[in-house]
Amino acid sequence: NPPAPRSGRPVEKVEEGTELVLYNLRNGREIRYAYVKDYLFSKNGNVLLIETSARNADTSSYASVIWVDLKTVKADTILRRFNDARSFAFDEEATQVAFNVERDSSSKAQQKFFKLYYFKAGMDTALKIAERATPGIQQGYTVSDSTMPEFSKDGNRLFLGLSQIRQPKDTSIPEFESARLDVWHYNDDYLQPQQLKQLRMEMGRSYKAVMSDDKKSVIALGATDAENIYLVDEGNADFVIAVSSKGNRIESQWQGFAKQTAYLISLKDASRKVIKEKHRGQFTVSPKGKYITWYDGTAKHYFAYNVKTGISKNISQKIMVPLYDDEDDHPDDPPSFGTIGWLADDAALLINDRYDIWQLDPDDKKAPLNVTSGYGRKNRIVLNYVRTDREKRFFEPNETLLLSAFNRNSKDDGFYSKKLGANGDPLLLSTGAYSFTAPMKAKEAEVYIVSRMTAQQSPDVYSATDLKSFTRLSEINKQQQDYNWYTAELVKWKMFDGKMSEGLVFKPENFDPKKKYPVIFYFYEQDADGLNNYRAPAPSASTINIAYFVSNGYIVMDPNIHYKTGEPGESAYNSVVSAAKFMSKFPWVDSTKMAIQGQSWGGYQVAYLVTRTNMFAAAGAGAPVANMTSAYGGIRWGTGLNRQFQYERTQTRIGSTLWQRPDLYIKNSPLFKVDKIKTPLLIMHNDADGAVPWYQGIEMFTAMRRLGKKAWLLQYNGEDHNLVERRNRKDLSVRLGQFFDHYLKGAAPAKWISEGVPAVVKGVDYGL
- Considering the domain boundaries, does residue 13 fall inside one? no
Q: 40 with 81, same domain?
A: yes
Q: Is pLDDT at 7 greater than 70 in this prediction? A: no
C-alpha span between 293 and 544 (Å, rounded): 44
Residues 6+ apart with CB under 8 A from 609: 569, 572, 573, 576, 577, 596, 616, 619
Q: Residue 522: is it exposed, middle or buried by C-beta count within 10 angstroms (0-12/13-18/19+)?
A: buried
Domain of residue 136, CATH code: 2.130.10.10
pLDDT band at 2 (very low <50, low <70, confident <90, very high): very low
Average pLDDT for 705-714: 98
Q: 620 with 679, same domain?
A: yes
- Considering the domain boundaries, does residue 181 fall inside one? no
C-alpha span between 22 and 731 (Å, rounded): 49
- The pLDDT tens digits for 659-685 are 999 999 999 999 999 999 999 999 999
| Single pTM value for the model | 0.93
- Considering the domain boundaries, does residue 705 fall inside one? yes
* Cβ-contact 574, 563 below 8 angstroms: no
Q: Are strands 681-684 and 618-622 parallel, antiparallel or unpaired?
A: parallel
Task: Give the rounded percent of residues in the chain with a pLDDT score beyond 70.
Answer: 98
Q: 395 with 497, same domain?
A: no
Residues 6+ apart with CB under 8 A from 13: 56
Average pLDDT for 615-629: 98
Q: Are strands 369-370 and 381-385 parallel, antiparallel or unpaired?
A: unpaired
C-alpha span between 624 and 670 (Å, rounded): 9
User: Which pLDDT belongs to residue 175?
Assistant: 87
Average pLDDT for 242-257: 96
Q: Of 306, 298, 237, 296, whose CA–CA distance to 266 is shortest?
A: 237
Q: 629 with 698, same domain?
A: yes
User: Which pLDDT belongs to residue 681?
Assistant: 98
- The pLDDT tens digits for 80-125 are 999 999 999 999 999 999 999 999 877 677 789 999 999 999 999 9
- The pLDDT tens digits for 301-327 are 999 999 999 999 999 999 999 999 999
pLDDT band at 5 (very low <50, low <70, confident <90, very high): very low
pLDDT band at 734 (very low <50, low <70, confident <90, very high): very high
User: Which pLDDT belongs to residue 9?
Assistant: 59
Calculated CA dihedral for residues 236, 238, 241, 246, nearest 10 degrees: 140
Q: 442 with 407, same domain?
A: no
* Type of residue found at 209: A
pLDDT band at 169 (very low <50, low <70, confident <90, very high): confident
- Considering the domain boundaries, does residue 701 fall inside one? yes
**Domain, as residue range, for 438:** 434-480
- Considering the domain boundaries, does residue 240 fall inside one? no
Q: 585 with 607, same domain?
A: yes
Domain count, the chain: 4
- Considering the domain boundaries, does residue 76 fall inside one? yes
Q: 545 with 694, same domain?
A: yes
Q: Are strands 448-453 and 435-436 parallel, antiparallel or unpaired?
A: antiparallel
| SS3 at position 503 | strand
The mean pLDDT of the chain is: 96
What percentage of the chain's residues is helix, strand, coil (to nearest 5)?
15, 30, 50
User: Which pLDDT belongs to residue 284?
Assistant: 96
User: Which pLDDT belongs to residue 11?
Assistant: 66
Average pLDDT for 729-751: 98
- Considering the domain boundaries, does residue 212 fall inside one? no
Q: Of 724, 714, 726, 722, whose CA–CA distance to 762 is shortest?
A: 714
Q: 475 with 495, same domain?
A: no
User: Which pLDDT belongs to residue 106?
Assistant: 73
Average pLDDT for 534-558: 97
User: Which pLDDT belongs to residue 4?
Assistant: 45
Q: Is pLDDT at 3 greater than 50 in this prediction? A: no
* Cβ-contact 387, 403 below 8 angstroms: no
- The pLDDT tens digits for 18-77 are 999 999 999 999 999 999 999 999 999 999 999 999 999 998 899 999 999 999 999 999
Q: 554 with 652, same domain?
A: yes
- Considering the domain boundaries, does residue 307 fall inside one? no
* Type of residue found at 57: A
pLDDT band at 10 (very low <50, low <70, confident <90, very high): low
C-alpha span between 255 and 760 (Å, rounded): 46
Write out the DSSP string of 670-696. Answer: GGGGGGG--S-EEEE--TT-SSS-HHH
User: Which pLDDT belongs to residue 105?
Assistant: 72
C-alpha span between 372 and 731 (Å, rounded): 51
- The pLDDT tens digits for 183-228 are 999 999 999 999 999 999 999 999 999 999 999 999 999 999 999 9
C-alpha span between 713 and 682 (Å, rounded): 6
Strand partners, 450: 462
Q: 377 with 447, same domain?
A: no
Domain of residue 530, CATH code: 3.40.50.1820
Last residue of a domain, one of 168, 194, 211: 168
C-alpha span between 559 and 579 (Å, rounded): 7
* Cβ-contact 623, 605 below 8 angstroms: no
pLDDT band at 6 (very low <50, low <70, confident <90, very high): very low
CA distances from 293 to 286, 299, 629 (A): 8, 14, 40
Q: 594 with 698, same domain?
A: yes
Ramachandran category for residue 391: left, alpha or beta (phi over 0 → left; psi -120 to 50 → alpha): alpha
pLDDT band at 549 (very low <50, low <70, confident <90, very high): very high
Q: Assign 3-class secondary structure to 589-615.
A: EEEEEEEEEEECHHHHHHHHHCCCCCC
User: Which pLDDT belongs to residue 108?
Assistant: 73
| SS3 at position 177 | helix
Q: 588 with 461, same domain?
A: no
Q: Assign 3-class secondary structure to 190-216.
A: CCHHHHHHCHHHHHCCCEEEEECCCCC
